[in-house]
Structure 1
Amino acid sequence: MSDPLVARLRSALGDGAVVDDADVLDTHRNDHATFCTAGVPRVLVRPSSTDEVVEVLRTAGSFGVPVVTQGARTGLSGAANAIDGCLLLSTSRMNQILEISVEDHVAVVQPGVVNAELSRAVLAKELFYPPDPSSWEMSTIGGNIATNAGGLCCVKYGVTADFVRGLEVVLASGEVVRTGRRAAKGVAGYDLTRLIVGSEGTLGVVTEATLALRPAPEAALTAAATFRSIEDGIAAAAAVMASGLRPSLLEFLDRPTVQAIQSYRDMGLPADAGSMLIAQSDRGPRAAADVAQIAAICLSYGAIDVAEASDAEESRMLLEARRLVNSALEPLGTTLIDDVSVARSQLVPLLRGIAEIGEKYQVLICCPGHVGDGNMHPTVVFDRNDAAAEERALEAFGAVMELGLRLGGTITGEHGIGTLKASWLETELGPVSLELHRRIKHAFDPDNLLNPGKVLR
């Protein structure tokens, strides 16, 4: 017996855009999050236009079927995971760069455009789209908007929300709303654009984004320094940020992470390194002087070793340690990646507390992160075949979030809430703020059909 929902969708969008094959649906159930449950979807739909998204949402609404929007499914919080009986709305076919304006410094794109493809396209016109999450070669602009993604260069340039001028959004009712504007300035009305960014598909489906661009950055150079302790590395990072320099990248690796990288690939990292800083300046002819100043600061704070790149190839080699983190941790076991963020003044208590949590729960916690803006990625590593180790890992994960909140920080700096951290949201927001969130959700989606159970419980 045919499914009437599937039949109506096929009639409206065509057979090629609607999939109900069980094997295909099974491959689309999850994002990259660990320990987030995923249900069994009813159907997968791949619309190609805003009009088709309108038709999908109206059809889903008429059947009372929940809708989970998916991009490339590279997220780390379970926000794109299926729920039982849901309609999966994939934006993969909405992948066109509609406009790149050199005059206005904006790009207009559909949500399925891959971040790296946009970055390369605008660079060809001597422009720059700064948000660069680690998944930039795979993740889509729509997914980046859904989670308000950051990246390595956010210390200088900011996160996705800082570059979204306006959005086209289809609401649960099938109505289309345009938020924001193309112009650089505008304060009329509530800022619905900022509200949609980071909402993880719970308020509407983004079908078009107008993004701000910058002039292409000048050539960059990199410096890397190792220290005997966490305190020395963090102090040096604070001094770099206080110096008046604006590094385009400032990354931190703690002792367990440095050791994992060195074990994975011999990069000549000192055996007694307690921490490592990697910094970059993208100021062209001034970059060499910036890097020299950063190196001098690191040495004044007790760096064991400092390397300064003199060209792009040496810069790439120095950055390799940071880019190897995930590969280096993979052989050590299953990873559970956190993304707490605190003020820079609280980084030492955070990192010391994380080390104590690792000892208490007898799990390895490696902590790389974006030290320039206080966004760290404590990564619990454990053997998933050991039930006791898995339980300790989950307890350690929660303890890290509790520590971040106790230090005045947040449970997520860039990965989002999804289902992974939904139970912690009220702890951070408090009951009054959480109730306001629920009222906003109801205003946009009164029947709770858009990604229900994500973010808000």
Structure 2
Amino acid sequence: MTAWLAGLGVDYSIDPEVLQGKRLDRSGWEPHGEPAAVVFARTVDDVRAVLRRAQETRTPVVARGAGSALTGATAAGAGEVVLDLTGMNRIRDIRPADGVAVVEPGVITADLDRAAMAHGLRYAPDPASLAISTIGGNIATNAGGLRCAKYGVTRDSVLGLDVVLPGGELISTGRGTLKGVAGYDLTGLFVGSEGTLGIVVGATLRLRTLPEPTATIAAYYPDVETAAAASVALAEARIQPVLAELLDEATLAAIGPGLRTSGSALLIVQTDGGPEEAAAAAEVLRRGSSSLRHSTDPDSLLHARRQALPAIEKLGRPLIEDIAVPRSRLAEAVREIGVIAKRHDVPICTLAHAGDGNLHPIIVAGAHGSPIPPEAHRAADEIFALALELGGTVTGEHGVGVLKRAWLEREVGPASHDLQRRLKALFDPYGILNPGKAI
């Protein structure tokens, strides 16, 4: 492996401590063995050189950004080379008049948003991990986030990509304009492909006008089903919030006891359509609520939501599930998740992007470092089955990775699944990119 790496002219490491640090992602899934090396790409040419050599030698490559993946998509095992893209972290251009940014894959999501704000603009996708996750990782999983209720997921903000294919060929997809329909949508194909078709080395992204004023409302409810129903009532009233975040009693307890003083479930709603829209939203949310308060500070009520996952992780090893159901069936979904938790006697903390029906039922699966108990696996399987039964999906924004591969064919059907496998073989005939992931 040393000779393999030395001829590339790219920084690398085979130090056991470095390998161990790049072996896992935030999912906690543990592959067999350790990766053979970590290569630190700084330029497009670095990536091209690695993939050219990898295809020649049939060496598997796992692309990695911040390692915040929640399905095992960036975990690397025996014989694999980790391609670390965090050094490709430059914002190449922001064009305010066009509403466009051009960035490298290692740019931190929050850094791009801050840079856009200096021009009165916003990068709309904002996953809970935005302070650490990278644009490349967001593109790989088609990440969502809090604001996606109104502004969509990552795919809705990606206009074009620069991608290195297995073998080192560099292609560009899409364009730098807000509209364009020439040819097949290869950009959309790469978004959400989890590094299995090519490696994203550049992205042209849509920016949006920074809205003001923004109103944020915190509504407490006696139970999570009532809170979920309130989020549906917003849609029925034709109110489109920027975000609608739901936290159940278990999640509130994990964050801190002070959050449960006003109710057993919290719905945080943010609007950006002015005072009339905010007043209309408050009127809807007030029905059935035990407490309601307003804020004109858009971040004042969101801190708790962003602290939810770190707080739950302190309780034990989390199985971070990610289903989505039709918005009209959200209350039914959260009710049934509670039934599943009781049936298997496992703690489940449920939080949700309620504005688009995306739930995160997080199973606390024993102590960190211990095997996941069988009842936790059974609960997860029932949650996936529930999602499909309600007309939903087994993943709304985290991707398939390793942990959900067994469910993919059940969701998309055998014909579609076979077509996806054939697409993978077309782009990556030797199967060197992120093998065993996504499909």
Q: C-alpha separation between the residues in 2 aligned to 1:63 and 1:387? A: 37
2:314 match: secondary structure: helix
Q: C-alpha separation between the residues in 1 aligned to 2:306 and 2:49? A: 42
Q: 1:160 to 1:402 in 2, by over 3 A?
A: same
User: Equivalent residue for 2:35?
Assistant: 41
Q: C-alpha separation between the residues in 2 aligned to 1:426 and 1:373? A: 23
Q: C-alpha separation between the residues in 2 aligned to 1:385 and 1:207? A: 35
Gaps of at least 5 residues in structure 1 are: none
Q: C-alpha separation between the residues in 2 aligned to 1:26 and 1:260? A: 30
User: Equivalent residue for 2:294?
Assistant: 308
User: Equivalent residue for 1:100?
Assistant: 94
Contact 1:332 / 1:382 at 8 angstroms: preserved in 2? no
Q: Does 1:143 align with 2:133?
A: no
Contact 2:99 / 2:208 at 8 angstroms: preserved in 1? yes
Q: 1:104 to 1:39 in 2, by over 3 A?
A: farther
Q: C-alpha separation between the residues in 2 aligned to 1:132 and 1:378? A: 19
User: Equivalent residue for 2:216?
Assistant: 222
Write out aligned runs for 1:173-192 (5 A): 173-192=167-186
Contact 1:30 / 1:38 at 8 angstroms: preserved in 2? no
Write out aligned runs for 1:405-444 (5 A): 405-444=388-427
Q: Does 1:133 align with 2:127?
A: yes
Q: Deviations over 1:15-38 (max 9, x none)?
A: xx1111122111110110023425
Q: C-alpha separation between the residues in 2 aligned to 1:328 and 1:281? A: 26
Q: Displacement, 1:104? A: 1.3
1:408 match: secondary structure: coil
Q: C-alpha separation between the residues in 1 aligned to 2:316 and 2:21? A: 23
Q: Identity percentage over the alignment?
A: 44
Q: C-alpha separation between the residues in 2 aligned to 1:329 and 1:158? A: 26
* Higher percent of residues as helix: 1
Q: C-alpha separation between the residues in 2 aligned to 1:87 and 1:388? A: 27
TM-score normalised per structure 2? 0.96
Give the CA RMSD over aligned residues. 1.8
Q: Deviations over 1:298-354 (max 9, x none)?
A: 222x11111122x32xx5443233233224323322211101000011112211111
Q: Does 1:86 align with 2:86?
A: no
Q: Does 1:289 align with 2:272?
A: no
The amino acid that maps onto 2:272 is D
Q: Does 1:276 align with 2:262?
A: no
The amino acid that maps onto 1:193 is T
Q: Does 1:358 align with 2:341?
A: yes
Q: Displacement, 1:387? A: 6.9
Q: Displacement, 1:385? A: 7.0
Q: 1:205 to 1:327 in 2, by over 3 A?
A: closer
Q: C-alpha separation between the residues in 2 aligned to 1:147 and 1:6? A: 28
User: Equivalent residue for 2:104?
Assistant: 110
Gaps of at least 5 residues in structure 2 are: none
2:319 match: secondary structure: strand
Q: 1:197 to 1:259 in 2, by over 3 A?
A: same
Q: C-alpha separation between the residues in 2 aligned to 1:369 and 1:398? A: 19
Q: C-alpha separation between the residues in 2 aligned to 1:144 and 1:386? A: 27
The amino acid that maps onto 1:328 is A
Q: 1:55 to 1:334 in 2, by over 3 A?
A: same
Q: C-alpha separation between the residues in 1 aligned to 2:368 and 2:201? A: 41
The amino acid that maps onto 1:115 is T
**Worse overlay, 330-339 or 48-57:** 330-339
1:211 match: secondary structure: strand
Q: Does 1:374 align with 2:357?
A: yes
User: Equivalent residue for 1:4?
Assistant: 3
Q: Displacement, 1:122? A: 1.1
Q: C-alpha separation between the residues in 1 aligned to 2:15 and 2:158? A: 36
Q: C-alpha separation between the residues in 2 aligned to 1:144 and 1:19? A: 25
The amino acid that maps onto 1:269 is T
Contact 2:316 / 2:368 at 8 angstroms: preserved in 1? no
The amino acid that maps onto 1:290 is E
1:278 match: secondary structure: strand
**Worse overlay, 237-246 or 165-174:** 237-246
Which of 58, 61, 64 does residue 58 from structure 2 map onto?
64
Q: Deviations over 1:138-189 (max 9, x none)?
A: 1110000000001000001001000100001010021111111111111111
User: Equivalent residue for 1:347?
Assistant: 330
The amino acid that maps onto 1:200 is E
Contact 2:405 / 2:438 at 8 angstroms: preserved in 1? yes
Q: Displacement, 1:431? A: 0.9
Q: Displacement, 1:386? A: 10
TM-score normalised per structure 1? 0.92
Q: C-alpha separation between the residues in 1 aligned to 2:159 and 2:103? A: 12
**Worse overlay, 413-422 or 376-385:** 376-385
Q: 1:63 to 1:167 in 2, by over 3 A?
A: same
Contact 1:338 / 1:397 at 8 angstroms: preserved in 2? yes
Q: Displacement, 1:259? A: 3.3
Q: 1:249 to 1:160 in 2, by over 3 A?
A: same
**Corresponding pairs, count:** 439
Q: C-alpha separation between the residues in 1 aligned to 2:280 and 2:386? A: 34
**Worse overlay, 402-411 or 323-332:** 323-332
**Worse overlay, 101-110 or 325-334:** 325-334
Q: C-alpha separation between the residues in 2 aligned to 1:198 and 1:36? A: 22
Q: Deviations over 1:86-145 (max 9, x none)?
A: 111111111111110112111111101111111111111111110001111111100000
The amino acid that maps onto 1:370 is H
The amino acid that maps onto 1:281 is T
Q: 1:112 to 1:359 in 2, by over 3 A?
A: same
Contact 1:66 / 1:450 at 8 angstroms: preserved in 2? yes
Q: C-alpha separation between the residues in 2 aligned to 1:196 and 1:163? A: 13
Q: Deviations over 1:330-379 (max 9, x none)?
A: 33222111010000111122111111110111011111110010000001
The amino acid that maps onto 2:283 is A
Contact 2:216 / 2:294 at 8 angstroms: preserved in 1? yes
The amino acid that maps onto 2:266 is M
